Structure 1
Amino acid sequence: MSTERFQLTEMRYIKRIVVGNDNPQNIKTEAEIEEAMALVNRCLAGSPRGYILNTEKSFGLYNIGEHQVVLQYAVYNIGFARKPMYLD
């Protein structure tokens, strides 16, 4: 493992990735949630390597018709020294 640490001042690009359902009018499928999580993993393992700068976790209770729905999501803010080509 490298002893070199990243510097926050070197972060030139930040990608915000939402994993989960954040909009009750647009419910995401399991495949879309898995795709978002795969993107998070690629950002953390690929080249150039990204670093998690912040995570936001939230949930909401919504009444849709007669049903009560709980939506949960996490937002990952991943910083890069330069923008990866696969994010274009």
Structure 2
Amino acid sequence: MTTERFHLSEMRFVKRIVVGNDNPQNIRTEAEVQEAMDLVNRCLSGTPRGYLLGFEKSFGLYNIGEHQVVLQYVVYHIGFVRKPVFLT
């Protein structure tokens, strides 16, 4: 494990990744949610390594027709010193 610390002033690129369903009009499939989680894992473990700057947790209770639906999602904010090639 490294003892280096990162500084927010060095972060030049921030990627915002939504994992879950944030829009009741456009429900994401399990494959799309898993793809977003794989991207989070790649950003945090790949090269260049990203740093988790923050995250937002949210949920919503919606009535769609006669059904009541709960949608949950997490938004990850991952910072990089420079924009990774795999995000272009």
TM-score, normalised by the number of residues in structure 1: 0.99
Percent identity, please.
77
> Does 1:29 find its partner at 2:49?
no
Residue of structure 1 in register with 2:46 after alignment: 46
Cα distance in structure 2, aligned partners of 1:2 and 1:52: 16
Q: How far apart in 2 are the matches of 1:54 and 1:6?
A: 14
RMSD of Structure 2 on Structure 1 (CA) = 0.3
**2-side partners of 1:2 and 1:61: how far apart?**
42
**Which residue does 2:75 correspond to in 1?**
75
Read off the aligned partner of 1:35 and give its amino acid letter: E
Counterpart-to-counterpart distance in 1, 2:25 and 2:12: 33
Question: Deviation of residue 27 (structure 1)?
Answer: 0.2
Consecutive unaligned residues in structure 1, runs of 5 or more: none
Once the two structures are superposed, residues 24-50 of structure 1 have per-residue CA deviations (whole angstroms, 9 ceiling, x without a partner) of 000000000000000000000000000
Letter in 1 for 2:29: T
Q: Which amino acid aligns with 1:43?
A: C
> Match of 2:2, as an amino acid?
S
1:60 has 2:57 as partner: no
Whole-Å separation in 1 of the counterparts to 2:79 and 2:14: 4
The number of aligned residues is 88
Gaps of 5+ in 2: none
Which string of whole-angstrom CA distances, capped at 9 and with x for unpartnered residues, describes residues 45-78 of structure 1? 0000000101000000000000000000000000
Provide the secondary structure at the position in 2 that maps to 1:74. strand
Q: Which runs of 4+ in 1 moved over 6 A?
A: none
